[in-house]
Structure formats: C-alpha cells, structure tokens
Amino acid sequence: MSAPAPLVRFEGVGKTFPDQVALDGVDLDIHAGEFFALLGPSGCGKTTLLRLLAGFETATSGRVLLDGEDLAATPPHQRPVNMMFQSYALFPHLSVERNIGFGLRMQGLAKAETAARVADLLALMRLEPFAARKPDQLSGGQKQRVALARTLARRPKVLLLDEPLAALDRKLRDETRGELKDLQRRLGATFVIVTHDRDEAMVMADRIAVMDAGRIAQVGTPAEVYERPVSRQVAGLLGEANFIESGGGWIMVRPEKMKLSIKPVKAGDRVFEGVVRQAAYLGDRTSYRVEVDGGLVLSAVSGGRRANIGDKVWLSYAVGDAVMLKS
C-alpha cells in the first residue's frame, strides 16, 4: 500500500491526569475513509485518545494533527470532527428534529438548507415518524439513531464514536453493528470508534489499534491482530488463545486451529495427549478443555461433537498456525 498523508496523526501523545498516566507516547495514523477501532480494556486510555481528538482534553505532550494541522489551539466547537457520546447526550428540551439540526444552526446554515439536511438524515435513520418527539419519548435504539444522525449532520471530517452500541441490548447491538459499518461505507466517511468489545471491533473495523495501559500494543487489520498478535495481551484481548511455553518464549495457537482427534496421533513436539475435562456443545461447534501432560489445560474447538468428558484425545497444530511470542 502506498502511504498517503494520514487524515489524523497522533505524534508521541502523552496525557497525565493528577492520579494516573492515561496515555504514554502514542503514535498513530488514521487514514481518510477508514473505519478505525480503538480496542482495549477499560482504563487503557482509548476514550482519552478520542476526547483529545474532539478537544475535550489537552495533551500533556506530543501533537494531534488533523489534515496535517496541529489541533492544539483549536477549541472543540471549531474542530471539524463530531463525536457521538456513550450516553448519547441528546438535548432533552429539543425535539428529535431540532437535536439533529443543532449543529447546522450553530454553523449558521440557511434555514432551508438546514431543513433539507435534517429531512435527509431523518429518512436515512428511519426516524421520520419521531421527528417531533422529545428524546425521553424514544426507545434506546431510536435514541442511538438520533445521536448518530446529529453527529453526521455537519459532515465532519472524522466521526468519533464512544462505545456507540454499549447502551443497546444484545440483539439490537448485533443488528446495529452491520448497519453502522454499512453506513460508513456508503458515506465514505472516516469513523473512529472506541470499544471494549472485540467482536464489535472485528466486525466493523478496517483496522484496529489494540491499546493497553496507555500505549498502543498493536495496529492492524482484524485478521492481522487476531492471527498474528505481537503479545500475550493482544492475543488474549482478541479471543481465546492457548499459550505453550517454548524455549524462553511462548507459542500461541487459537483453539480453532487445534486439531482434536480421538485416534492416536504419532508423537511429536506439536502433539499433545490428554483427557477431556470440559466439553461445551454450542450447536455448530463444541468447545473442549483438555488437560494434557504436565497439567497444562488447552482449548480446542471443532465442528459437531466428537468426544465426551473423560475421553482420551490427541491435540495437534500445524506450524503455520502457531505464532511465536517473545513476552
């Protein structure tokens, strides 16, 4: 890939709060048109990074650049970025329509133009029947769509989404993931999303920055960070993983890459003989916990149901499916 100038660039960004170091030398590029996810456990600094971009926090060190320009001197209300808040932060005294049009009125856009854009967004978000309602008369999913429409209204260079799906129930969350990704692709907009949910990041994002303790642990496509993690933390954050000690380092193998067989396999250094301790049948697959020699418990996933608790099994993996980790 040729390297065009990034839309957003964090350069050695540090942020220290009185009681903690939130960010510790973050370098990160986000390109135009990307769906970019900041993934990490709570307290890893991902929200602080987003708020720095929105202008609600100022960096203790380093620079935040948008289109090559340092944002330090630009207050939040003059930045060409818009944020969708985790609580949605809809204005309770304004109707859906006026909430969505708020940013346009602040821009001083002509009334007719504002009305037209609001109408477009109401249609896009399937909110037309609720245009005159107040936020407290909406369901959770409707509120979420109003918040998204309001964030889109000013056609920002970057859309910041702080845990946009966290307040929805499970079923709605799964549906909305796909819609959000679809919307981003159709608009060709740049989305930066903060999430602690690895499925959310994997399903929606073009690239993921995995964060840990105020640092960027790894940046890559979902496949890269899942299949080629650089550390145990990253591997564990993105899914279940087996860690096998090997000559001062670790070998990581995903459970679905562990081949489970009920017939003896010729012994080798990539073969483990063991006993099934747990077997969770999940319909399309079964997840096994197998205790192998030396007390190590390994996970394996295979289609159908092939072994029961107490059965003797053999686990093996291919060289290409294993990842060497130094830490």
Partner 1 sequence: MTNLFGGTKPSHGEERRLRRVSNHAPTAQGRGFPFVLPPYLWLLVFFLFPFALVFKLSLSHTVLAMPPYAPQLDWRAGPAGMAAFVRQLDLGNYSRMGGDHLYLTAYLSSLKMAAISTAILLLVGYPIAYGMARCSPRTRQVLLLAVILPFWTSFLIRIYAWIAILKPEGLLNAALHLFGLAPLDILNTDTAVYIGLVYAYLPFMILPLYASLERQDPALVEAAADLGCPPWRIFWSIVLPQSVPGIVAGALLCFIPIVGEFVVPDLLGGSGTLMVGRVIWTEFFSDRDWPGASAVAIVLLATLVIPIVLYQRHQARALAEAD
Q: Which residues face 261 on adjacent strands?
A: 314
Q: Pick the closer one to partner 1 by CB: 68 or 108.
A: 108
Beta-carbon count within 10 A of 255 CB: 20
Q: Pick the closer one to partner 1 by CB: 81 or 290.
A: 81
Q: Pick the closer one to partner 1 by CB: 20 or 137.
A: 137
| Total binding residues toward partner 1, as defined by CB under 8 A | 26
Does position 17 interact with partner 1 (CB under 8 A)? The reply is no
CA 160 to chain centroid, in Å, comes to 12
Angle formed at CA 313 by CA 307 and CA 316, multiple of 5 degrees: 115
Nearest approach, Cβ of 56 to partner 1 (angstroms)? 6
Q: Pick the closer one to partner 1 by CB: 137 or 246.
A: 137
Nearest approach, Cβ of 150 to partner 1 (angstroms)? 7
What is the distance between the terminal CA atoms of the chain, rounded to a whole angstrom? 29
| Residues with Cβ within 8 Å of residue 175, at least 6 apart in sequence | none
Nearest approach, Cβ of 138 to partner 1 (angstroms)? 13
Contact 15, 211 (CB under 8 A): no
Contact 275, 313 (CB under 8 A): yes
Q: Pick the closer one to partner 1 by CB: 17 or 91.
A: 91
Near partner 1 in 88-117, by CB under 8 A: 89-93, 102-103, 106-107
Closest CA to 125 of 112, 108, 137, 138: 138
Q: Pick the closer one to partner 1 by CB: 92 or 188.
A: 92
Angle formed at CA 22 by CA 17 and CA 23, multiple of 5 degrees: 120
Contact 243, 250 (CB under 8 A): yes
Q: Pick the closer one to partner 1 by CB: 106 or 275.
A: 106
Near partner 1 in 69-88, by CB under 8 A: 75-78, 81-83, 85, 87
Taking residues 116 to 145 in sequence order and writing x for each that binds partner 1 by CB under 8 A, - otherwise, the string is ------------------x--x--------
Nearest approach, Cβ of 209 to partner 1 (angstroms)? 22
- Report the C-alpha gap between 24 and 35 in whole angstroms: 24
Q: Pick the closer one to partner 1 by CB: 136 or 269.
A: 136
Near partner 1 in 26-55, by CB under 8 A: 54-55
Nearest approach, Cβ of 214 to partner 1 (angstroms)? 22
Return the beta strands (E) in 67-190 as ranges. 69-70, 81-84, 158-162
- Report the C-alpha gap between 255 and 260 in whole angstroms: 10
Nearest approach, Cβ of 159 to partner 1 (angstroms)? 11
Among 150, 173, 177, 196, binds partner 1 (CB under 8 A): 150
Q: Are strands 35-39 and 207-212 parallel, antiparallel or unpaired?
A: parallel
Contact 95, 134 (CB under 8 A): yes
Binding stretches for partner 1 (CB under 8 A): 54-56, 75-78, 81-83, 85, 87, 89-93, 102-103, 106-107, 134, 137, 150, 153-154
